[in-house]
A and B are shown apart, each in its own frame.
Chain A
C-alpha cells in the first residue's frame, strides 16, 4: 500500500469498531467464512484417513477427543451457525428484501437499509451461534 493510494487496506476493512453492528456482522461473516474454508480443507484431509483402514481412522479421530479438539469443534459449530443465519439475512438483502423503499429522507437520517429487521437478523445470528456452541460444548464435555 502506498501513501499515494491512501487506501485503508485489510486492516481498515477488518476493523469492526466504527460503523455499528452491521460492520461487526460483515467482519464475523468473513472470519467465519475463512474459518469454515480452513475446516473444510482439514475435513477433507481428516476423511482421507479412511484409506488407512479402521485403525488409522480411529487414531486420527482421537485428535478430536481432546479438550482442544472439543473447543475447536465448538468454534466450528458457532462459525457454521453464524455463517448460515447471517448468510440468509445478507442474501435476502441482496435480493432487496427488508432493505426498505426509497423515500424522501428526513433529518436525522437513519438509513432504511440498516433497519431493525436486519439488526434483529444479525443479533439472532450471534445468539444462535452462541447457543449452538454451548450446546455442542455441553454434549462434548457432558457426562
Chain B
C-alpha cells in the first residue's frame, strides 16, 4: 500500500522551499521481515539544482528517517549512492531531478546486487571480483631501493590506461550489464575494465597472470558487447572499450 506524505513544517530545520514538487517513489524492502519490496511515495519540493540524493535525504530528515540509503561524498567521487533512478542505474548525487523530466521519480536498489535494506546493496561480490583480477602493479622489482626513483612512464603510456583508472567502483556498470542479469558467476564489466587498466599499464608485468584469470568460462568471453556498462558509467570509463581491447591481447592482436 503506497503511503503519500508531505514535507512537515519544522521550526528547527530548513526544508527545500520551492513551488515545484515531484513525487518520489522509494522502494522499501527489508530482507529480514519483508517478502517483497513495496513503494512508498513522498511529495518533495525541488529546485533546479536539487539532486535525487538530496530529495531522499529530505525524506529522511522530515518524513521517514528509516529509509536506508548509502552515500558519502555527494560529488560523484566515492561511488556509494548508486541506485536505479527511473529504471536506469545512476549516482543519486550526480542526478538532478530537473534533468529527469518527470513528475514522478522512482528510486530502487541497483539490480544484480543483493539488497541490504531499501536502497542499500551489498558490494561484496563486486569487491571480490575486483580483487580477483589483482588490481595492483605486479613486478619483481616492486620494492624500491633507496637510490632508485619511482617507475617512470611517458605521457603516451599514461594515456593507454588513465581513462580506466577513473573507476570509482560504484557498480553501475555491473547493474546495467545484461550478462550480470543472468550469470551469477560472470566476473563483470567493472573487474574486466580494471583488468585492462593494469594490463595496459607499462609499469605492470602481470599481464599473463591476469589474462589467465579472465580467460575462463565465466570470464571475458561472456561479454557480448551490449555496451550498457559504458552508457551508465558516471566517470566516462567506458568498460565496453576496455573489455574489447583486452580481448585483443587474448586473441593476439595486441602485444
Would you give the 0/1 interface string for A88-114, flagging 1 where the beta carbon is closer than 8 Å to chain B?
001001111001101111110101111
Name 11 interchain pairs, CB-CB below 8 A, sorted by A.
A6-B115, A7-B180, A9-B181, A13-B179, A19-B226, A23-B178, A23-B226, A95-B251, A99-B240, A112-B241, A113-B238
- What 6 A-B pairs have minimum CB-CB distances, sorted nearest first? A105-B236, A109-B236, A111-B230, A8-B181, A113-B241, A26-B226
A109 to B236, CA, bound (A): 5
Chain B residue with the shortest CB-CB distance to A4 = B114
Is A53 positioned at the interface, with any CB of B under 8 Å from its CB? no
Residues of A within 8 A of B112 (CB): 6-8
Q: Which of B84-112 contact A (CB under 8 A)?
A: 87-88, 109, 111-112
Residues of B within 8 A of A18 (CB): 87-88, 228
A99 near B37 (CB under 8 angstroms)? no
Q: Chain A interface mostly helix, strand, loop or mixed?
A: loop
A93 to B240, CA, bound (A): 10
A23-B227 in contact given A7-B181, A113-B241 (Cβ < 8 Å): yes
Chain A residue with the shortest CB-CB distance to B113 = A6
Q: Which of B5-38 contact A (CB under 8 A)?
A: 29, 31, 35-37
Would you give the 0/1 interface string for B152-167, flagging 1 where the beta carbon is closer than 8 Å to chain A?
0000000111111010
A90 near B161 (CB under 8 angstroms)? no
Is B184 positioned at the interface, with any CB of A under 8 Å from its CB? yes
Is A143 positioned at the interface, with any CB of B under 8 Å from its CB? no
B contact residues, range = 35 or more
Residues of A within 8 A of B251 (CB): 94-95
Residues of A within 8 A of B200 (CB): 102
A3-B241 in contact given A12-B178, A114-B231 (Cβ < 8 Å): no
Chain B residue with the shortest CB-CB distance to A100 = B241
Is A20 positioned at the interface, with any CB of B under 8 Å from its CB? yes
Chain A residue with the shortest CB-CB distance to B196 = A102
A113 near B181 (CB under 8 angstroms)? no
A97 to B176, CA, bound (A): 23
A95 near B178 (CB under 8 angstroms)? no
Residues of A within 8 A of B161 (CB): 102
Is B182 positioned at the interface, with any CB of A under 8 Å from its CB? yes
Closest CB of chain B to A79's CB: distance in Å?
A: 17
Is B254 positioned at the interface, with any CB of A under 8 Å from its CB? yes
Closest CB of chain B to A25's CB: distance in Å?
A: 8
Q: Which of A75-134 contact B (CB under 8 A)?
A: 90, 93-96, 99-100, 102-107, 109, 111-114, 118
A contact residues, range = 35 or more
B244 near A113 (CB under 8 angstroms)? yes
B36 near A94 (CB under 8 angstroms)? no
A5 near B227 (CB under 8 angstroms)? no
Among B115, B231, B254, the residue within 8 A (CB) of A19 is B231
Is B123 positioned at the interface, with any CB of A under 8 Å from its CB? no
Chain A residue with the shortest CB-CB distance to B223 = A94
Is A22 positioned at the interface, with any CB of B under 8 Å from its CB? yes
A100 to B239, CA, bound (A): 12
A20-B231 in contact given A9-B182, A102-B162, A111-B240 (Cβ < 8 Å): yes
Among A7, A23, A103, A107, the residue within 8 A (CB) of B182 is A7
Residues of A within 8 A of B253 (CB): 95-96
Is B121 positioned at the interface, with any CB of A under 8 Å from its CB? yes
Q: 6 more A-B contacts (CB under 8 A) besides A6-B115, A23-B226?
A: A8-B111, A26-B225, A102-B159, A102-B245, A112-B238, A113-B238
